[in-house]
Amino acid sequence: MRDMRRFRAEIELPVQRFGEARVYWDQQGRWVLIKDWLLPPGLNRETSHVVILISEHYGYGAPLGDCFIDPELKALNPATGRYEEIPHYFIRYPYVEMKVGSPEKWFKARWRYLCLHQQAGADMAINILNYLHQLYKFLAEPFRDWGSTFASYHRTQ
Amino acid sequence: MAEIVKDGYILEIEDIPYGQPVTGREIQERVSRQTGEAVPGVPYVQRDGRLRHLRAEEPIILRPGDRLGFTAPFETA
């Protein structure tokens, strides 16, 4: 069960940031929609709508890990100089279990799933705005090998 | 000296001068030293509106107008 008091308090942050007219959410706290979210440079579009699915145990340490964005986004690959398909950006929701709707419904509504999971215990406040910050940074460099980039800071003692 | 946005404040990091090579790990260590707390995640440089994250041993020469920040780890699949 989500901590709805936490959710209702937290939703004020994106409302303040983006304005009431651009932020929508489910009364059960299952999702948040931000309209016309500004994308980083290097993509073939300047904005996208974003839906963040809110974890079932959000507010009790569960991180955020699922979002949908507009279809047909491509990113400029600096290695090739061409706009290419974004990694981890799925036409259909790729997992078996889905808590909100069905993969078919999301597909028909013209959403694409982007697989970006916050890490629990990553020493960063888990909240909707921080998730958006991470999404922005991923999309700023979508072809980066993020796993090895993060791992390069793990010292071998 | 380089600037970083941390907790909504713009800080000048004295140990990171412009015009000299500095690695991602050095940025992380020097920011941690000056702020007095470990900075989690990977440093990035915002230059001309674009973000460039740095691996631990990757050098960069910072210049005025660059803005540093950090990205907490995430997973992709």
A65: closest CA among A40, A94, A36? A94
Q: What is the pLDDT of residues A109-131, one digit of tens each?
A: 999 999 999 887 656 678 899 99
Mean pLDDT across chain A: 92
At residue B4, the pLDDT reads 85
**Cβ within 8 Å, pair B73-A115:** no
CB count within 10 Å of CB A146 equals 22
Q: What is the pLDDT of residues A76-106, one digit of tens each?
A: 999 999 999 999 999 999 988 888 999 999 9
Chain A interface disruption, residue of B31, B60, B71, most A CBs within 10 A: B71
Q: What is the pLDDT of residues A54-67, one digit of tens each?
A: 988 888 888 898 99
**Cβ within 8 Å, pair B42-A150:** yes
CB count within 10 Å of CB A23 equals 20
CA distance B39 to chain A (A): 9
**Cβ within 8 Å, pair B49-A41:** yes
In this complex, the residue of B50, B71, B72 whose CB is nearest that of residue A123 is: B72
Q: How far, in Å, CA of A104 to CA of B1, rounded?
A: 52
Average pLDDT over residues B4-30: 87
At residue A138, the pLDDT reads 97
Tell whether A148 lies on the interface with B, counting CB pairs under 8 A: yes
A43: closest CA among A149, A145, A136? A136
- β-bridge pairing A31-38 and B42-47: unpaired
Chain A interface disruption, residue of B47, B50, B75, most A CBs within 10 A: B75
Concatenated DSSP letters of chain A: ---HHHHHHHTHHHHHHH-GGGEEE-TTSSEEEEEEEEPPTTBS-SEEEEEEEPPTTTTTTPPP-EEEE-SS-EEEETTTTEEEEPTTEESS--SS--SSS-HHHHHHTT-EEE-EEEPTTSSS--SHHHHHHHHHHHHHSTTS-HHHHHHTT----
Lookup result for tokens 């929609």: A33
Q: Does the predicted interface ipTM exceed a cut of 0.85?
A: yes
Give the burial string for A91-105 (b: 16+ CB within 10 Å, else e). Answer: eebeeeeeebbebee
At residue A157, the pLDDT reads 43
**Cβ within 8 Å, pair B72-A41:** no
**Cβ within 8 Å, pair A146-B49:** no
At residue A124, the pLDDT reads 66
**Cβ within 8 Å, pair B28-A122:** no
Q: Is the dihedral of CA A68, A73, A76, A82 positive or negative?
A: positive
Average pLDDT over residues A6-27: 95
Q: Contact at 8 Å (CB) between B51 and A134? A: no
Average pLDDT over residues B12-25: 90
Q: What is the pLDDT of residues B33-69, one digit of tens each?
A: 988 888 878 999 999 999 999 999 999 999 999 999 9
Q: How far, in Å, CA of A6 to CA of A135, rounded?
A: 22
- pLDDT more than 90, % of chain A: 77
Q: What is the pLDDT of residues A136-147, one digit of tens each?
A: 999 999 999 999
Q: Contact at 8 Å (CB) between A76 and A140? A: no
